[in-house]
Structure 1
């Protein structure tokens, strides 16, 4: 149901444009006098004119937000209620309540009128596409690499599997494909398949020449988690077993802005000062851990743009150049979102709600 903010009963719901640029002066000119009583009466009439303009602009802006940005419609409604309360309190203690109401209504009418003029037509507002991605297996090879050592046949399993998604949007397909690029440049499908084929063949040759009896496998995939308005969430999963005890299984969450066609990064979520505060909190949290390394300095503690939001927790991942994986230190630390909300940019709160 469409929600319309109802002003007090004295604020009429008719919406004519302002008949005069200065309704107070027009009333005084018509009266032909400026006694205190006439000024009071004309102030009241002018105030009513401004109230009608407030209602007209408010309803137009609220309806626009309901269609384009529902979260902003709610905030706009609350702001109008707060303005009314503040206006009434200020004018109750004014020397001339009627003049105060008129001036406040005039100022608000002008503010809302200007905001109404800046609204883009609803039909021109870009709507995010609804995604239904399909699997796109671009490389899938598996074989037993065989050789003979000391007269006996030996073998080890070699597996390469790479799977991305087809979303129907070329820019998004390329962005997802970029997750398989080691240099962030080699993003065409053909070039990536060529690089994978070369790597596969080189690994097969190395296994034969080194007589390795350990399996070697790499599996990388992109999966679709879901979509909320203009925000789509994907997971890039990286698994691998490289012989011996070196095994990897890592998830990287990708938050995609479908309207602006790009990845959400920490700078999109936090203000500059807020991100500095986040880094301080992460450092303090790390200092409280039972298991940490004394040679890790605060200056070596930046965070990457890899992060995960799950329920009421946001997990930050550290740059591998400063805090490496495995024995060299932790890869990640998690902090409650409630402890970070004061640092979060309002336009990014959709990630956290």
Structure 2
């Protein structure tokens, strides 16, 4: 692993969302968690990472360095071969061979026989290698055992920054698994929250007045509002290792991650609630000490302990800062360097945070 000063970056964000349903459970209601014995709203790590990967911040900063999570690599290979005029049966056979590198195949009589059963993260470089190998096999190249062709496609270092950050698992080829360089916690509210229900109706515009006065449709949707605490930990040394030492891409990845985490959230029912928000407070820490979340600041909900409980954002900022200072006093040898911006105070900026987290790369 590359030697690098200030190995760990830790980000702590406080973001206020008005009534919304950002991340739904299996019943369609907002996800929740019990923390400190009190109910909170929750947004899953998976939902957050997906929204960041699909964001403009990632697309613009990491163009050409983003992977795809898909079960359809075989279909892509088959289409590639057919467009080159290859025999259909041969194209299907080669596509299934190539797809098997990335996961267990669907059965041959499945409607999508070139799909894998699982999703796999595939980097741009691996996709290019997969298509090149498909061409070679379609041209009659040696039908090497499939276990031996995996290293011809899979890579131990990434050309995909998102795979380097968030990792991947290939059950059949564990040597090519990628340990995530970025840990992302589930976001939870800093205070107690009760999920409410929106009872709504839709009117049939073509219904005549002579008919009944009832609605054309009746529905119900859960929602909640709150200040969410989000914690991320970035292992810069592991990120560099995953990227094969490419510090330039590592810097771009960190900048994109800071921007996306602060400005992009899950889009669950966003059109119904207008739930677009930006982080009001971000604390960044940089150092070599063992990482630690500051979620303990909110074990006791801020609406129970603060003298101004109606200002949940201000109370959350104060409590987070107090907890950080307490940890620094308790563990002075591990106290990290820090930088912050606060929208309510008008101090700092996201540019300063980006410069801080990339310093030394």
**Bucket of the pairwise TM-score, normalised by the shorter protein:** under 0.3
| Structure with greater strand share of residues | 1
TM-score (norm 1): 0.21
Q: Greater Rg, structure 1 or structure 2?
A: 1
TM-score (norm 2): 0.21
Bigger RCO (CA 8 Å, 6+ sep): 2
| Structure with greater helix share of residues | 1
